[in-house]
Structure 1
Amino acid sequence: MTRRGKFALAGGCCLALLLAGCESDMSSNSTFPTSSRGQVYQTGNAPDDTIFGKGGLFGGDEKDLQDGLGGGGGGLGVNAYLWRASLDTLSFMPLSSADPFGGVIITDWYSSPDSPNERFKVTVYILDRRLRADGIRVTAFKQNLDTANQWIAVPLAPKVTADLENAILSRARGLRVAREGE
């Protein structure tokens, strides 16, 4: 018998044993429920004690629920005001990646027309579903072009990232105040 034949025979025996072990009694003594297995709720009609009830999966305060934000922002995994404010604040930079469920915005390198020998890159992390000062973290990177046309990393002052965080938070508060004024 060839090696391939031995493997085929061994595989067939294993399959036969596996199928024989899976044989079950499908008589009327089955414990599988025959009644309906669950209730499907339309949006907003679930009882408060269910996972989709008041606050849903993401929690959220009463105002957010009335606004349809659900604490996370209408299907977003993060605070909608922080997300929108971050995109607005960084709108002058090209985006490399934006993940609304993970709360990460990564820009591509940006060089100002006024100073083409330096470029910046920013990453924004939205850490909370609530509009809070500690719900956002910004990291920024700077590179300068040297005489050999190589980009060299340059440390940024912590004030730069703090200023970006404050600009995003200020914009987010403005968006929330505008929403509440409607």
Structure 2
Amino acid sequence: MIGTMAVLVTACGKKERPKADLAASQVTTIGVNSYLWRASLDALSFMPLLQTDSNGGVIVTDWYANPKNPGERVKVTVSIVDQDLRADALRVAASRQVSQGGQWVDAPVQAATVQKLEDIILTKARDLRRAAIAG
């Protein structure tokens, strides 16, 4: 039994595994994961940008009011906190205000809104990576 196990373990070490031809999940020519960075910029492209820092991985939008709902505006901050393409490498925060009597008043943001934006960014980032794999 022990002799058989030794043969099996030895055999496992001698086989060379084929190397996968995959695009790296860690592309960081700009300081943070490039896929997440590009996907974030793409997802927020309809909003005016207030600040972008590719080395620090921060994108801050200015207030944006949807023309269909001018009594409400939102502001988004995206932080990329890791060099790997992973869900926990992305943080999205949103602020929302509503117009009341000509003044902008803070209002709660639905958690589903932030989650949806994170999902959009992550999906775009994965699509960019898949496109890089396809070449």
TM range (shorter): 0.7 to 0.9
Q: Find the partner of 1:175 among 115, 124, 128.
A: 128
What CA distance in whole angstroms lies between the structure 1 residues aligned with 2:23 and 2:119? 24
Q: Find the partner of 1:87 among 28, 32, 41.
A: 41
TM-score, length of structure 2 as denominator length: 0.81
1:138 matches 2:92: yes
What CA distance in whole angstroms lies between the structure 2 residues aligned with 1:179 and 1:94? 28
Alignment of 1:32-181 (within 5 A): 63-64=23-24, 71-74=26-29, 76-147=30-101, 149-181=102-134
Higher strand share: 2
The structure that has the greater radius of gyration is: 1
TM-score, length of structure 1 as denominator length: 0.60
Q: Deviations over 1:50-84 (max 9, x none)?
A: xxxxxxxxxxxx954xxxx9x3432x110000000
Aligned CA RMSD, in angstroms, stands at 1.5
Q: Where in structure 2 are there 5+ consecutive unaligned residues?
A: 1-21
What SS class does the counterpart of residue 116 from structure 1 fall into? Answer: coil
Q: Where in structure 1 are there 5+ consecutive unaligned residues?
A: 1-61
Letter in 2 for 1:73: T
What SS class does the counterpart of residue 159 from structure 1 fall into? Answer: helix
Match of 2:13 in 1: none
Runs of 4+ aligned structure 1 residues displaced above 3 Å come to none
Structure of higher RCO (CA pairs closer than 8 Å, 6+ residues apart)? 2
What SS class does the counterpart of residue 65 from structure 2 fall into? Answer: strand
